[in-house]
Amino acid sequence: MSRIARNLQAVIDNIVASEHEAGRAAGSVQLLAVSKTFGAECVLEAVQGGQLAFGENYLQEGLDKIRALSSATPTPDQALEWHFIGPIQSNKTRPIAENFDWVHTVEREKIAQRLSDQRPDGLPPLNICLQVNISGEASKSGATPEEIGALAHAVAGLPRLRLRGLMAIPEPEDDFDKQRAAFARVRTLYDTLRAQGLALDTLSMGMSGDMRAAILEGATIVRVGSAIFGARTYPSKESQ
């Protein structure tokens, strides 16, 4: 078993333990392996370890890996699932709409409209999570909690998209109770939107340092990178 496969199994074991602690069914939380800055060969090691869903922050890097790994599945009836989890510029919506299965970082109706318009008819609807800036950080992307309701209802009405839920990256916090409190606020927004009739099923929240707190507060997708692949060396802005 490779190092990446061993790391992957350790993360999965932690997810299972947190599901059990939360009284949730095994398998209720999906692991999204964040493969940004790691090459296709590292992703292939994770695939060989049983991982199928991968998150990419940088568009060109993600597209290169999607193409390189187009046939890298354990069995013919399986397919890799690609999630775009980085900031979205208007001039990059078309390749995102054409190549990814999920987008977690929609924060403006304009971006959602472009993704809808540019999603090819031959593909399934593009799965969308709205990014909410739950901690109010000026440096962080995302709609405010006050904006998220109107945005959700607007996106839910767009063709070629399927609104799945919310994504959040709360302000880093070492205190476990404070981690839970931030995720609980996201869960409250999610529950409010569901009560308004939106068919949401996804809470994308929690990373290596706060995954347990996120799962206890209802996360359905956790995004984990370095705990699987190792420490990152980030590319220059010119290569992104």
Q: Does 88 map to a domain?
A: yes
Q: Which token pair is 154?
A: 């607007």
Task: Report yes or no on 239 lying in a domain.
Answer: no
CATH number at residue 116: 3.20.20.10
Bridge-based pairing of strands 53-56 and 81-84 is: parallel
Say how many domains are in the chain. Answer: 1
> What are the 10-residue block averages of pLDDT along the chain, 240 residues in total?
95 98 97 97 95 97 96 79 97 98 98 98 97 86 96 98 97 96 98 98 96 98 96 62
Is 219 part of a structural domain of the chain?
yes
| Whole-number pLDDT of residue 71 | 83
Residue 102 belongs to some domain of the structure: yes
Note the pLDDT tens digit of each residue in 184-196.
999 999 999 999 9
203 strand-pairing partners: 166
pLDDT of residue 233: 75
- The answer to whether residue 238 sits within a structural domain is no
